[in-house]
Structure 1
Amino acid sequence: MRDYGNSSQLYQAGPEHALFAFSVLDAFLNNDDHDEVPGFENVNTALFVTWNMNHRLRGCIGTLEPRMLHKALKDYALTSAVRDSRFSPIRLKDLPHLECKVSLLSCFENAANWEDWQVGKHGIIIEFVDPQLNCVRTATFLPDVPPEQGWDVVQTIDALIRKSGCESRPNAALRNSLQVVRYQVF
């Protein structure tokens, strides 16, 4: 499995990160240049940007690879808003109804097995060889996804297997073949 690092630096997203994402999206939707300099530190971190409208997911894309925050947040604010293939692009009229959450990912570590993580505390990345197609599959959920869905550890792992594109039915053998990396969002 790829090494995601073991960042000892803990970064916490605050309202200023979400406000910056909103300003980037607003400028884009209004065909304006966005030249605002963020008022937060330009750290090297993995991140995800999540957009919700009326408390329902409207877009969520990020990167597990650490990137410089100023540019990465600008890029992923737009990518998650207008290029998440699960949704139609966010429009200008949607802005008043949107909520934004920025997640800065830290503390990546290999789990001992597929059960070695806690719902609500850890985000997880799975990697495995698809038993039907013999190709490598990966998928991730941020820490807040399982509790929002009411999932336990097994349900979360099975949902990740399906999210990866694997068409095999999740079972004990498939779960035991998983490599799992856990991480946290502060």
Structure 2
Amino acid sequence: MMLHRFSITSVLYFLVSLKLTLPYSETSLQMTSANIEMAVYCFDVIYAQLNRQKDPTVPREIPDVKLPLFVTWKKGVHHDLRGCIGTFSDLRLGEGLNEYAKTSAFHDSRFKPITKEEVPSLQCGVSLLINFENIHNYRDWTIGRHGVRMNFNDGRRTRSAVFLPEVASEQGWNHVETIDHLIRKSGYNDYITEELRQSLRIVRFQSSKIVLDYKDYVQYKQHHGQPIPH
């Protein structure tokens, strides 16, 4: 993932200059990069939900294409995780952002629903998932560049879990630590053997990501002459 800075403070672009290939379809598109309007729209969506208003109109800057995506909410100066849910299915961006802005904010089972009072302390991240590749060695991915999705059958059930590209580098994990945390995330609590690691079915992928703090959301709305929700 390459890091780019937007003119608005604290807005980070994580871009990959690659042709888009989706994992479970033959769809082939020009790569669509995450943009600031996507994160602004997510803030608008949760404000509308909290205020019991109708959904906002999808901005024209959001392309009418289908992609897998994740929406992440973090809170406070330490950017503590507040919700992160997405999909590996192809969804029209406007519809997907609307759905997963709400789902990650209000229906992540790990957290209580986000309240209106929390919104000014939030940061929104939108990740568009791209360039999926099956790999046969659990170490065959690059920390800080690739996300990993794995699944396996433990003899009782099929388990799966995913980490976005930034997770391993943010946590300071190496390949083995990342894979082991991924196995634990899937709900597997037995001893992790090298044989188990080698048996995993793993897909690596990359992302185009935008991160927007609330203060920059406000600045964007002011700059474009748009009302700021309360």
Given the two structures, how large is their TM-score scaled by the length of structure 2? 0.76
Distance 1:130 1:87 in 2: 27
Alignment of 1:28-47 (within 5 A): 28-39=49-60, 40-47=62-69
CA-CA distance at 1:136 after TM superposition: 1.1
Q: Does 1:15 align with 2:41?
A: no
Letter in 1 for 2:24: Y
- Contact persistence 1:124–1:180 (CA under 8 A): yes
Structure whose alpha-carbon radius of gyration is higher: 2
CA-CA distance at 1:168 after TM superposition: 1.7
CA deviations 1:122-156 (Å, max 9, x no partner) are 0111011114x2x2111100001111111111000
Distance 1:8 1:107 in 2: 11
Alignment of 1:2-151 (within 5 A): 4-5=24-25, 9-39=30-60, 40-54=62-76, 55-131=79-155, 133=156, 135-151=157-173
**Tell me, what secondary structure is at the counterpart of 2:141?**
coil
CA deviations 1:13-59 (Å, max 9, x no partner) are 11111000000000100111123132211210000000000111000
**Tell me, what secondary structure is at the counterpart of 1:65?**
strand
Distance 1:141 1:4 in 2: 19
- Contact persistence 2:48–2:56 (CA under 8 A): no
Distance 1:5 1:169 in 2: 35
Change (3 A) 1:97 1:67: same
- Contact persistence 1:10–1:107 (CA under 8 A): no
Letter in 2 for 1:42: D
Distance 1:181 1:9 in 2: 21
- Contact persistence 1:8–1:107 (CA under 8 A): no
Distance 2:192 2:142 in 1: 20
Number of equivalent positions: 182
**Tell me, what secondary structure is at the counterpart of 2:71?**
strand
Letter in 1 for 2:111: F
**Tell me, what secondary structure is at the counterpart of 2:139?**
coil
- Contact persistence 2:151–2:202 (CA under 8 A): yes
Q: Does 1:166 align with 2:185?
A: no
**Ranges in structure 1 where 5+ consecutive residues have no aligned partner:** none
User: Following TM superposition, where does structure 1 have runs of at least 4 consecutive aligned residues deviating by more than 4 angstroms?
Assistant: 5-8
CA deviations 1:146-174 (Å, max 9, x no partner) are 11111111000000000011122222010
